[in-house]
Amino acid sequence: DAKTTQPPSMDCAEGRAANLPCNHSTISGNEYVYWYRQIHSQGPQYIIHGLKNNETNEMASLIITEDRKSSTLILPHATLRDTAVYYCIVRVAGGSQGNLIFGKGTKLSVKP
Amino acid sequence: DAGVIQSPRHEVTEMGQEVTLRCKPISGHNSLFWYRQTMMRGLELLIYFNNNVPIDDSGMPEDRFSAKMPNASFSTLKIQPSEPRDSAVYFCASSLLETGELFFGEGSRLTVL
């Protein structure tokens, strides 16, 4: 079973921020939080990852709570092309990577 | 830069036939993953390799499935004999062992009649 819990679906208006939550209450100290997304009929695409500090890149921001039991992926200005299934995954980075488990993810629908 | 390249993109075959899916990882990457995706089961990790060595094949459904990585630039996933329940999209992904960020190919859509 996946180690994360995400809402099955969310809607967001185009141009607004999309905030996608993820619960990972059993995360271990050496596990990172990774986010991927899968646009219809394509392979999953890496978005961002973090350990305990907030992270930002050109695609998104990742906010991790201080206790690391939950996180939020933020797409600051959602576009129609951001419509996809978003997966939150916890795993060890590098070395013996173990089983990368994809859950069911959150289906984000960005509407005009 | 070329991403992960998979072939064929689409394959339709009859039950009992052998199927071979191919993957060329990103040059320089030293980890390679095979996933399968269906509506019912989502994305499942079948097997992964580090430095061409299979590390974990516990996700391989049964003996009909086999995967090889003869060198750093090529891997195959073979199904023999194929069955209708093997119909799925098969994804290959590669990464640097040190970073863990996976890059996925566009997938091979397999239909077994």
Name chain B contacts of A100, Cβ cutoff 8 Å.
33, 45, 102
Closest CA to B74 of B97, B92, B56: B92
Name the percent of chain B lying above pLDDT 90.
83
Residue A99: pLDDT over 80? no
Q: Which of B59, B100, B104 sits opposite A44 (nearest CB)?
A: B104
Q: What's the longest Cα–Cα distance across chain B?
A: 41
> Is B91 within 8 Å of A42 when comparing Cβ atoms?
no
Q: Does the beta-carbon distance from A102 to B43 stay under 8 Å?
A: yes
Give the pLDDT confidence score for residue A97 in this predicted structure: 55
Interface test with B, best of A35, A90, A102 (most B CBs within 10 A): A102
Q: How many CB pairs under 8 A join A and B?
A: 57
With 0-12 / 13-18 / 19 or more C-beta atoms within 10 angstroms meaning exposed / middle / buried, residue B49 is buried
Q: Which residues of A touch B97 (CB under 8 A)?
A: 94-95, 97
Mean pLDDT calculated for residue range A81-105: 81
Nearest to B95 by CA among A43, A53, A77, A110: A43
Asked if B74 and A24 count as a contact pair (C-beta separation under 8 A), the reply is no
Q: Given this model, what pLDDT does residue B98 score?
A: 73
Task: Determine the Cα–Cα distance for residues A24 and A101; give it in Å rounded to an integer.
Answer: 13
Q: Flag whether pLDDT at B74 surpasses 90.
A: yes
Confidence of residue B56 (pLDDT cuts 50, 70, 90): confident
Contacts of residue B37, Cβ cutoff 8 Å, sequence gap at least 6: B43, B44, B88, B89, B90, B91, B107
pLDDT digits (tens, 9 = 90+) for A20-72: 999 999 898 888 999 999 999 899 999 999 999 899 999 999 999 999 999 99
Q: B100 vs A99: CB contact, 8 Å cut-off?
A: no
pLDDT of A100 reads: 72
Segment B12-24 shows an average pLDDT of: 97
Q: What pLDDT score was predicted for residue A28?
A: 87
Helix (H, G, I), strand (E, B) or coil at B112: strand
Can you give the pLDDT at residue B67? 97
Provide CB contacts within 8 A for A43, sequence distance 6+.
Answer: B4, B91, B93, B104, B105, B106, B107
Q: Report the residue of A100, A104, A106 to disrupt the B interface, i.e. the one with the largest count of B CBs within 10 Å.
A: A100
Find which of A13-17, B39-43, B58-62 is predicted with most confidence, using mean pLDDT: A13-17
Decide if pLDDT at A96 tops 70: no
* Residue found by looking up tokens 């039950």 in the block: B15
Does the distance separating the beta carbons of B93 and A94 come in below 8 Å?
no
- Whether pLDDT at B99 is above 80: no
